[in-house]
């Protein structure tokens, strides 16, 4: 390489052929050690460099294709030996490695002595002296296991595991006697493999004996089962994020995990919390699969403000943010390696980076056609496949002719799961909604016509749901009539009537005497028939009710005469300066900032006035005589300078009297007299905030200041002090905020705020108020003080527009686009200096009236069409659904119990290692005990996450103490504590250890209950694993009393341990009888499941064939009509994706039909004593 690389790349060979080809870690190593020659690099780096430059130098150097193959093999051998453990390496593997090394040396024309030495080492493994390389002998025909002293340790049929990894286990299927060690063929990982005797261990057989355990151990076992085997019917994200529990935010999560494909459009209103909902979806996915890669696409301002990076920290996730260079690097790595680079596996990508070159690539001349030298996204083969793609403000990709659309569609077509977030109105006539759904589910929403037909059955399905839910007399007849009307629509005739769930439900309702239990069970089945229920989630602010009452109070503070003179003079001089610098051009927008600054706080602006005005006069000197500018005589500039001096003089004579500050101090003192004395003060300008801070501190008030320049850690600390009670010496009573300063943290413990000045953008106002008017606000109302100075533009905007819109009284529920339109129109009116005050007021009032009407029209239309896209939920049903999806064994107390049980079993003592009674606890472990946990941690699958890294660092470190909590709300308050939840590695390794105890546990319990007859009841709990169209896992209680069996999961939550003699435990015969009952229940359930799966697969296959045919026909028509090469290429890629998508889903359906089954196994036994009474007794 030292010979060829400089000849290929010239003087830049080190940079282009070495630094650009090695991995990031290798590059950092090279730069840190200042390595500048190939001789300073290790084998791994040299091998990678040669492999990456193979096409440039391999064939020129006369190396064959086999040489590259042996190069890759040698690098794999190097990696394997670099990570070898202390166990003996199999001689057969050593031989193969040495044989590969010999072939590698020959291919690269190595020195003969070196080749001969490698051959000798290789042949010595087989005990031969010849220098040729014999083939490995084939395994002889197995001989029977010898007797006597030569007897083998294992026999055919024994269950064994490998000594190196106990997770690799299987039965011995063949035995081969040997002179040194016997060999065994073991069926491991779906294939037979040979092992030497020293590599295997006999597995302990599961004991059929019942082992009596206490209630804590029993609950720990059930927690372990649920963590190790997630089911569709259980939510794992309920306590898995640093957020407050808000029920409606789990609606999209439940839809997502129950959908036939993991794709969802979340079209919630402003302030509902779409980003949190997307994070919960991520958490739920992580409980079920190893989510290694996540891509978030969003507008650039959200990248600039680190919004998604900060939000993902609530979920203990660390994301990178891509700029242009980083994205080009990712594309290049993906092109060369076939995979997106690991360091950006979880990343945030702004729409603004999607340009034509990045999407379609370039050739060497910069053209976007023909042969490419820089590949674009669409050229990548294979394309990057993310486990989850989140598209924020997805309406930015609603235009099919834009690059945003092409890029988003490309990532979505190749992703496992996709979530769209948007404020697009959910309306049938909306092309935006159709385009988004077509991009999200092209297999389902094929064209605009099918989209419209899909909605037609939904009003009738909603009627049926209402009848069933109400349960009034004749509900079944009315429900059948509504369902039949749904089936008679075009979509119903083609799709709905063929759905086995639809057929079964109609048949069931036509029978008489249906029980209330069956009636209630039918509701979720009907909801799944709703064509959009599992692909759209729409929660509007008014659907969930206002969090609290908003009470705006206007504080009008007139300018003093001196302030008025200074205000007018400042604006007049600034306007004159701009007019001369930008002669003949509009200066309206240039005046915006100074007008708002002056209206905000003249006293804060006073020290800056001279610099603001004088830096513009310098522009006049610089522009004198320049092309495009009129030269100004020195006399003109001198007059301006005199006017500036006059303004500065007016500022210096302003005095100390500030009525606006005095009014604020009055508000603060009034607030200090109340029990909740916290007050937030907002301003858009730092000069105002600095002035207020200095003056309020001088008055002895406890004040903090937060703006965009304050580090995150300081913001968190200031929030902590602001939340403290007034009696605490560290507490802050007033917190000053800029716009950026309030991002990312919530302050619902505060119920009063001051707008010292007002943004012209209603969205900014909504964001300010949203810091306190949010779920968790304890006060019945929040007070919003708006400080206004009459005679300013701000005052006109406030009184004529913002107040009329009603944004201070309520969240108006408008989408981001509508609020953005209002903001733009306000700005246009405010910046029009030609308008008189009366004209400006009239225009602002007309603007408000028009937009109020627009918002109301949007809301009315959506109200009328709500049933087309969603299911009407009673107020209490959502909470009931969450309760049904919750598991006691995944609760905070159960996880803590699991961890404590794990410590007891691992450390084999009853010492207390979790210290503290409050939610934040201290885990104290010696180095020896941490090493035991580290060994268990390393047995888990490697997952790249912040929580895993922090846990591993602590286990390896010197600190014996770790602050942790099991409570999500507490974790949200203090980001420094470790958050132990169902996805944390401590819980994962505890579940693995406790869940593999082997023996069958039996527990004895007592519970007070008034629904079952008092007495002792034996019970068993079986685990049912469903396979088919969707896989699920449930715990099935069995008892001879069916009422008790149904209530058992609830009773176990309130049960207490019961001590009884071992002789009084139920006998094997009792549990055998329960097993007989279980068989009958299981057999019936399995037959129903298999039958239902077969009919569902048949229906879905027919639907798949129909939709795929229509989808391909539409794409072929678009290809034939297209004339642009890029469009043709894009459509052809979509057609290829459609074909692959079809084949994949067809294969999945065939597999689902063949594997439909319910496997069961007993996991626990027990005896429960029912004591008469109420659990509240």
| pLDDT, position 866 | 47
- Asked whether the predicted pLDDT for residue 141 surpasses 50, the reply is no
pLDDT in tens, 766-784: 778 878 876 667 788 889 8
What pTM was estimated for this model as a whole? 0.65
Query: Residue 229 region, left (φ>0) first, then alpha (ψ -120 to 50), else beta?
Result: beta
pLDDT of residue 373: 66
Domains 254-448 and 549-554+657-869 are alike in CATH topology: yes
Residues belonging to the chain: 1177
- For the segment 869-877, the average pLDDT, to the nearest whole number, is 54
Protein fold of 549-554+657-869:
Rossmann fold (3.40.50)
**Packing angle, helices 985-995 and 946-956, rounded to 10:** 80
Quote the pLDDT of residue 133.
Answer: 41
150-159, 280-289, 1031-1040: the lowest-pLDDT one: 150-159
Per-residue pLDDT band at 629 (split at 50, 70, 90): very low
**Which of 100-109, 124-133, 305-314 has the weakest average pLDDT?**
124-133
Is 335 a residue whose pLDDT tops 50?
yes
Q: Which of 605, 582, 610 is nearest to 595 (CA)?
A: 605
Burial of 60 (0-12, 13-18, 19+ CB in 10 A): exposed
Asked if residue 147 lies in contact with residue 135, where contact means CB atoms within 8 angstroms, the answer is no
| Beta strand segments in 600-649, E | none
User: Taking the mean position of all CA atoms in its chain, how far away is CA 738?
Assistant: 28
User: What pLDDT, on the 0 to 100 scale, is given for residue 1167?
Assistant: 94
Q: Tell me the average pLDDT across 273-292.
A: 91
In the beta sheet, which residues pair with residue 1057? 1005
Of residues 90, 87, 5, 100, the one with CA closest to residue 46? 5
- pLDDT at position 825 is 66
Q: What's the rounded Cα separation, in Å, for the pair 12 and 1040?
A: 81
pLDDT of residue 473 exceeding 80, the answer is: yes
Six-digit token string for 517: 């239990």
Strands, sheet with 191-196, edge to edge from the N-terminal-most edge strand? 191-196, 183-188, 169-176, 159-162, 200-202
- Kindly tell me if the per-residue pLDDT of 809 is higher than 70: no
Q: Which residues contact residue 368 at a Cβ distance below 8 angstroms, ignoring those fewer than 6 apart? A: 356, 357, 360, 361, 362, 376, 1126
Third-level CATH fold of 148-202: SH3 type barrels. (2.30.30)
Q: Which of 18-32, 83-97, 362-376, 652-666 has the highest mean pLDDT?
A: 652-666
Averaged pLDDT, 417-426: 80
| Torsion region of 760: left, alpha or beta (phi above 0 gives left; psi -120 to 50 gives alpha) | alpha
- Write the DSSP assignment of 156-185 as a string of letters: TT-EEEESS-TT-EEEEEEEE--SSS-EEE
Residue-level pLDDT at 802: 64
Instruction: Give the mean model confidence (pLDDT) for residues 366-375.
Output: 56
What's the Cα-to-Cα distance from 411 to each of 274, 321, 385, 534, 855, rounded to whole Å? 20, 17, 7, 21, 34
Section 953-959 average pLDDT: 93
**What local confidence, expressed as pLDDT, does residue 900 receive?**
96
Mean pLDDT of 903-922: 92
pLDDT band at 42 (very low <50, low <70, confident <90, very high): confident
- Mean pLDDT on 394-401: 87
804 has a pLDDT exceeding 70: no
- Per-residue pLDDT at 531 exceeds 50: yes
Q: Between 179 and 194, where is the model more confident?
A: 194
Residue 598 has pLDDT above 90, yes or no: no
Segments making up each domain of the chain, as ranges: 4-125, 148-202, 254-448, 458-530, 549-554+657-869, 561-652, 999-1177
761 contacts: CB under 8 Å, gap ≥ 6 = 819, 820, 823, 826, 827
Instruction: Return the percentage of the chain with pLDDT > 90, whole number.
Output: 27
pLDDT at 457 over 60: yes
Q: Residue 518: pLDDT band by 50, 70, 90 thresholds?
A: confident
The residue ranking higher by pLDDT, 1025 or 869, is: 1025
pLDDT at residue 852 is higher than 60:
no
Judged against a pLDDT cut of 60, whether residue 989 lies above it is answered with yes
Contact 872, 462 (CB under 8 A): yes
User: How, if at all, do strands 1056-1057 and 1000-1009 pair?
Assistant: antiparallel
- Cβ 743 vs Cβ 719: under 8 Å: no
What are the respective helix, strand and coil percentages of the chain, to the nearest 5? 55, 15, 35
Mean pLDDT over the full length of the chain: 81
Q: What is the pLDDT of residue 61?
A: 74
Residue 1174 has a pLDDT of 61
Tell me the pLDDT band of 479, cut-offs 50, 70 and 90.
very high
The answer to whether 167 and 185 have CB atoms below 8 angstroms apart is no
**Topology of 254-448 in CATH?**
Rossmann fold (3.40.50)
Q: Say what the pLDDT of residue 848 is.
A: 59
Mean pLDDT of 1059-1083: 88
| Amino acid 873: pLDDT | 52
Instruction: Provide the pLDDT for residue 620.
Output: 53
User: pLDDT (tens digit, 9 = 90+) per residue, 1020-1050?
Assistant: 999 999 988 878 888 899 998 888 998 888 8
Look at the block and give the residue holding tokens 């089936």.
Answer: 487
| Torsional class of 306: left (φ above 0), alpha (ψ -120 to 50), beta (otherwise) | left
């Amino acid at each position: 390489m030292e010979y060829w690389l400089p000849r290929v790349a010239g003087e830049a060979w080190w940079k282009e052929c070495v630094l650009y080809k090695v991995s990031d870690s290798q590059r950092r190593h090279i730069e840190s050690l200042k390595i500048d020659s190939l001789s300073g690099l290790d084998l791994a780096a040299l091998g990678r460099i040669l492999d990456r430059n193979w096409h440039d130098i391999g064939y020129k150097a006369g190396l064959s294709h086999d040489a590259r193959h042996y190069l890759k093999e040698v690098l794999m051998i190097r990696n394997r030996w670099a990570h070898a453990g202390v166990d003996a390496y199999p001689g057969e593997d050593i031989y193969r490695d040495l044989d590969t090394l010999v072939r590698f040396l020959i291919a690269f024309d190595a020195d003969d002595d070196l080749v001969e030495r490698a051959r000798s080492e290789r042949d010595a493994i087989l005990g031969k002296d010849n220098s040729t390389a014999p083939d490995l002998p084939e395994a002889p025909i197995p001989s029977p296991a010898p007797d006597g002293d030569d007897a083998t340790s294992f026999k055919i049929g024994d269950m064994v595991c490998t000594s190196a990894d106990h997770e690799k286990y299987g039965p011995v299927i063949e035995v081969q006697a040997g002179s040194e060690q016997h060999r065994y063929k073991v069926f491991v990982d779906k294939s037979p493999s040979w092992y030497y005797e020293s590599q295997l261990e006999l597995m302990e057989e599961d004991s059929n004996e019942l082992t009596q355990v206490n209630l804590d151990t029993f609950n720990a076992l059930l927690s372990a089962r649920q963590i190790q085997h997630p089911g569709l019917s259980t939510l794992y994200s309920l306590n898995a994020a640093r957020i407050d529990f808000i029920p409606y935010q789990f609606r999209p999560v439940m839809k997502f995990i129950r959908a036939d494909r993991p794709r969802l459009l979340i079209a919630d209103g402003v302030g509902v919390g779409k980003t949190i909902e997307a994070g919960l979806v991520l958490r739920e996915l992580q409980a079920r699969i190893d989510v290694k890669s996540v891509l978030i696409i969003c507008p650039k301002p959200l990248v600039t403000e680190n919004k998604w990076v900060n939000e993902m920290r609530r979920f203990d996730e660390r994301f990178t943010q891509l700029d242009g260079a980083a994205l080009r690097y990712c594309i290049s790595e993906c092109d060369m390696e076939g995979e997106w680079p690991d360091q950006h596996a979880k990343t945030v990508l702004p729409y603004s980076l999607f340009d034509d070159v990045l999407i379609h690539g370039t050739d060497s001349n910069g053209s976007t056609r023909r042969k490419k030298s820089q590949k674009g996204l669409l050229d990548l083969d294979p394309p990057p496949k993310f486990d989850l793609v989140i598209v924020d403000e997805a309406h930015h990709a609603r235009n099919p002719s834009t690059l945003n659309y092409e890029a988003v569609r490309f990532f979505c077509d190749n992703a496992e799961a996709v979530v769209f977030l948007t404020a697009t109105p959910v309306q049938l006539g909306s092309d935006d909604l159709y385009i988004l759904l077509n991009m999200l589910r092209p297999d389902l929403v094929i064209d605009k016509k099918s989209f419209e037909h899909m909605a037609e059955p939904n009003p009738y399905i909603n009627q049926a749901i209402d009848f069933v839910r109400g349960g009034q007399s004749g509900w079944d007849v009315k429900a059948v009539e509504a369902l039949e009307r749904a089936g008679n629509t075009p979509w119903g005739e083609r799709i709905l009537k063929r759905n086995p769930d639809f057929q079964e439900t109609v048949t069931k309702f036509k029978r008489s005497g249906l029980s209330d239990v069956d009636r209630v069970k039918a509701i979720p089945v009907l909801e799944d028939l709703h064509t959009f229920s599992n692909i759209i989630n729409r929660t509007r602010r008014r659907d969930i009710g206002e969090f609290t009452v908003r009470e705006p109070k206007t504080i009008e503070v007139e300018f003093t005469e001196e302030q008025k003179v200074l205000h007018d003079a400042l604006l007049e001089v600034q306007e004159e300066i701009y007019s001369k610098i930008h002669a003949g051009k509009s200066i309206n927008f240039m005046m915006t900032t100074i007008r708002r600054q002056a209206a905000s706080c003249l006293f804060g602006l006073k020290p800056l006035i001279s610099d603001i005005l004088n830096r513009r006069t310098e522009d006049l000197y610089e522009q004198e005589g320049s092309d495009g500018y009129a030269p100004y005589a020195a006399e003109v500039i001198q007059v301006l300078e005199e006017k500036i001096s006059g303004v500065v003089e007016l500022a210096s004579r302003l005095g100390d009297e500030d009525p606006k500050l005095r009014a604020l101090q009055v508000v603060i003192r009034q607030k200090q007299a109340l029990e909740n004395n916290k007050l937030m003060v907002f301003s858009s300008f730092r000069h105002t905030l600095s002035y207020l801070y200095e003056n309020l501190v001088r008055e002895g008030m406890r004040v903090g200041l937060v703006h965009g320049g304050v580090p995150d850690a300081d913001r968190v600390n200031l929030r902590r002090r602001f939340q403290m009670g007034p009696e605490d010496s560290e507490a802050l009573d007033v917190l000053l905020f800029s716009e950026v300063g309030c991002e990312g943290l919530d302050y619902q413990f505060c119920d009063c705020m001051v707008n010292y000045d007002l943004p012209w953008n209603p969205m900014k106002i909504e964001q300010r108020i949203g810091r306190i008017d949010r779920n968790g606000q304890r006060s019945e109302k929040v007070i919003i003080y708006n400080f206004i100075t009459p005679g300013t533009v701000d005052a006109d905007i406030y009184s004529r527009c913002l107040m009329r819109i009603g944004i201070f009284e309520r969240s108006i529920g408008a989408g981001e686009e509508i609020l953005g339109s209002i903001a733009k129109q306000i700005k246009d009116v405010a910046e029009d200096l030609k308008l008189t005050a009366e004209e400006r007021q009239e225009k602002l009032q007309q603007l408000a009236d028009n937009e109020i009407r627009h918002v109301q029209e949007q809301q009315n239309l959506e109200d009328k069409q709500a049933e087309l896209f969603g299911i009407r939920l009673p107020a209490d049903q959502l909470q009931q659904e969450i309760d049904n999806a919750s598991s006691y064994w995944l609760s905070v107390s159960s996880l803590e119990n699991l961890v404590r049980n794990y410590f007891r079993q691992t450390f084999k003592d009853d010492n207390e290692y979790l210290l503290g009674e409050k939610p934040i606890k201290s885990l104290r472990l010696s180095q020896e005990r941490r090493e035991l946990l580290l060994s268990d941690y390393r047995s888990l699958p490697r997952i790249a996450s912040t929580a895993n890294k922090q846990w591993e660092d602590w286990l390896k470190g010197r600190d014996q103490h770790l602050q942790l909590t099991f409570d999500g709300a507490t974790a949200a308050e203090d980001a420094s504590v470790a958050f132990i939840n169902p996805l944390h590695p401590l819980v994962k390794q505890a579940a693995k250890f406790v869940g593999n105890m082997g023996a069958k546990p039996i527990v004895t319990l007592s519970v007070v209950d008034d629904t079952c007859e008092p007495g002792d009841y034996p019970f068993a709990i079986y685990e049912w694993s469903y396979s088919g169209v969707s896989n699920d896992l449930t715990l099935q209680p069995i008892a001879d009393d069916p009422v008790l069996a149904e209530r058992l999961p609830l009773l176990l939550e309130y049960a207490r341990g019961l001590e009884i003699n071992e002789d009084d435990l139920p006998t094997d015969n009792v549990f055998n009888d329960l097993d007989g009952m279980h068989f009958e229940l299981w057999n019936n359930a399995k037959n129903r499941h298999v039958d239902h799966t077969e009919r569902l697969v048949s229906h879905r296959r027919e639907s798949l064939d129909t939709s795929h045919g229509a989808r391909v026909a539409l794409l072929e028509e678009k290809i034939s009509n297209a004339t642009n090469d890029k469009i043709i290429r894009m459509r052809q890629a979509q057609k290829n994706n459609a074909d692959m998508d079809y084949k994949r889903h067809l294969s999945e359906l065939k597999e689902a039909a063949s594997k439909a089954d319910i496997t069961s196994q007993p996991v626990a036994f027990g005896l429960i004593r029912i004591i008469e009474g109420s659990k509240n007794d």
